[in-house]
A and B are shown apart, each in its own frame.
Chain A
């Protein structure tokens, strides 16, 4: 009887210390940005709808980035109509590895990463072998709009497969870690790296079990990681520390992110960059509606930072100056 009572009481104490719901006032105080506020006060105001197609269509993004001198993975070819699937061989040429993805895919869906070829057999990065006909079927699906926003007919992009920089090797399981930076009015305000785990099946998606680790804007060093809503020190697969990893080419990366604002004209922008072993930071894609998970990874709310930037009257026109401003305002030193 007493044991039962104690259990009940301790559970209650636990519940009080860690309630399942937080008061809105608590979240507000901590500066956490909610979905409605993001949509209503930032995206709908700072992102003009006419600029959306630039980022929603990765092919357009790539072309614009190329013109502006922003590095992206090299484009091997585009398949626009069903008939062109036959030209796959010409497009692929000698490339042993490549990535196929929909030009207007959403949320990282419909991406096929091929790590090697053996005749008509293609090896996916996960190790699964795919036949040529399966590959063609996948491309057909992409063209028919299965993975695109609104289900409209789409194009399939075939591009360079990123060889991840060795820096994150110790804390990622397969896949390619990517670095997401939120750029508000051209100023980088927060950054995180998403590290694939065995659980996330090599995908850099926090929701599916990837680790999100905040990055200090000033130094480019990772802070604690967050995995499924809880803070963790070490990678669940390798056991290596997530904290304190210095991202190489950090200034360059932030500058890429800041310049992306000039390119896209989107005031509230998510910039996804991957670190390639040979080519350095490459912009993978832009997101006009970047998610809120970056707050989890950084263990900090975006509101205060957004409000600070919103209050700035004159935003510097040069990307370098904006990076410096972001680092000065939000870096921990």
Chain B
């Protein structure tokens, strides 16, 4: 194969680039598109109790792999306590232990979470046993079975059964049997327990899930009971009030089952309060935190570890290869002519400050004025280096003049002309005037506008938010750019301009044949 070595190299670079990029997006959750911030929740449980001057153990249920979230950080704030966490099936319990506690004590558990759509995992643990049919009291028994029979006739599976049951149970105008079973005065937890009691009549395993609704900023919050039903494969969540499937949005499943939230030995008056706070956090910060959690050094040694000022410099520098890519495309594939190979890239960098339209106008004005002066200098018969030095001085004076005049006219854009690369401009004017003299104005203007066009396209590409973001956060993608430019270095096909240039030859040769 032609250029096998080069193609292998390009392939290798591309594979490295894509693999690194894939690792960062998939494992570390670095987003592929620029998002300035992501939702981060900080949920906190505060346990208060009174010490009884003896040793105490406090068991608090805490979230374990909550669906819809990924855990970024956890804190157990408890000076002077022994600490242990235990997994209990679907739940996790933190145990604080201490001796000789007296007076009011406060313990905190804090968890930092971010919404993670990938974390909607199935809840399968634990596999329950099928409950025995409870021994209902007499009036209750008839009501339960009537209700269950009629629900069963209107449902196809466990999910629709649970939904239908909940709908009927919560009906504002309940049927007679529901009236018997429903106790309006009982609290939410008791109501869910009552539903579980009824479901057991159909031998359907169920449990209470205790969820913390994360609305805005929550203070003194408490857990809301939710119903979970086992369908033989996994646990399905239902709103016990409406029968709607699933957990509510922005709700954190704290724990499930009949166990108490907090269980204290050797102390009194335990109470738990919840609070939650939503904050926006830099997406990159999140990814870095996640990388730390899984012990990945990729982001530790990335540009993000540099000081902010240096980062900002690299944000611009890393887009330069894209500008160079544009030059390659427009020169070697399209066939545009420019003054100097990378002069347009430098002009495009200057456009960052002036913006496109004003950049083009200022560039044209400056080059035109410079050319006029240069044609005058030609008559003075100066030597090359002094002439270039004079041109540089004149270009700077022209820039200053344009700034002052445009400022007086109230056009603040004219001020940003100061960022034009003056040395490059002086050289451009010099070369343009030589081409003008030797090959005529047509060639000079063609190359001049070619340069401007390449600069404009380069600017648009280099300042595209997505391009800027990708180049900075995924600098390895520049290896992909490198691979492409390497391949372009062996592109020996026609340039678009040649399709035009050789049109007459093509016609003549065709006629001759």
Contacts and interface: CB of A to CB of B under 8 A. Distances in A.
B499 interface: yes
Interface stretch (A118-126, A224-232, A271-279): A224-232
A27 B500 CA distance: 10
A146 B381 contact: no
Interface stretch (B236-244, B363-371, B466-474, B505-513): B505-513
Interface residues of B, number: 32
Interface in A1-55: 18-24, 26-28, 30, 32, 34-37, 39-41
A27 B504 contact: no
A83 to B, nearest CB: 13
Q: Among the interface residues B434, B438, B489, which one has the most CB atoms of the partner chain A within 10 A?
A: B438
A270 interface: no
Given A21-B499, A208-B440, A301-B509, A36 B384 contact: no
Given A34-B492, A208-B440, A299-B509, A27 B381 contact: no
A27 B383 contact: no
B505 A36 contact: no
A22 B490 contact: no
A311 B493 CA distance: 20
Interface string B362-398: 0000000000000000000101110000000000000
B167 interface: no
A300 B492 CA distance: 19
Most buried by B among A19, A34, A144: A34
Contacts of B496: 21
Contact of A30 (B381, B384, B498, B510): B510
A109 B438 contact: yes
B29 interface: no
A299 B503 contact: no
B12 interface: no
A23 B503 CA distance: 9
A144 B383 CA distance: 7
A134 B493 CA distance: 46
Contacts of B498: 27, 32, 34-35
A280 interface: no
A30 B383 CA distance: 48
A132 interface: no
Given A21-B499, A34-B498, A146-B434, A41 B506 contact: no
B335 A35 contact: yes
A108 to B, nearest CB: 9
B509 A296 contact: no
A37 B502 contact: no
Given A21-B503, A26-B506, A140-B383, A299 B512 contact: yes
B491 interface: yes
A19 B335 CA distance: 19
Given A34-B495, A36-B332, A144 B381 contact: no
Contacts of B438: 109
Given A22-B499, A109-B438, A36 B506 contact: no
Contacts of B75: none
B129 interface: no
A246 to B, nearest CB: 21
A133 B381 CA distance: 9
B339 to A, nearest CB: 13
B130 interface: no
A229 B491 contact: no
Given A40-B490, A140-B383, A146-B384, A230 B335 contact: no
Given A21-B500, A27-B494, A40-B490, A300 B383 contact: no
A98 to B, nearest CB: 21
Interface string A125-153: 00000000110010011001111000100
A24 B493 contact: yes
Nearest to B427: A151
Interface string A223-266: 00010011100000000000000000000000000000000000
B439 interface: yes
B384 A144 contact: yes
Contacts of A231: 504, 508
B505 A296 contact: yes
A230 B505 CA distance: 8
A295 interface: yes
A207 interface: yes
Given A37-B492, A40-B490, A208-B439, A30 B509 contact: yes
A22 B385 contact: no
Contacts of A144: 383-385
Contact of B504 (A26, A35, A226): A226
Contact of B505 (A23, A41, A299): A299
A58 B385 CA distance: 23
A137 B504 contact: no
Contacts of A19: 503
A20 B509 contact: no
Nearest to A231: B508
B348 to A, nearest CB: 24
Nearest to A223: B512
A40 B504 contact: no
Contacts of A208: 439-440
Contacts of B502: 22, 27, 32, 295-296
A36 B492 contact: yes
Interface in A203-237: 207-208, 226, 229-231
Interface in A276-333: 295-296, 299-301
Nearest to B500: A21
Interface of B: 332, 335, 381, 383-385, 434, 438-440, 443, 489-496, 498-500, 502-510, 512
Interface of A: 18-24, 26-28, 30, 32, 34-37, 39-41, 109, 133-134, 137, 140-141, 144-147, 151, 207-208, 226, 229-231, 295-296, 299-301
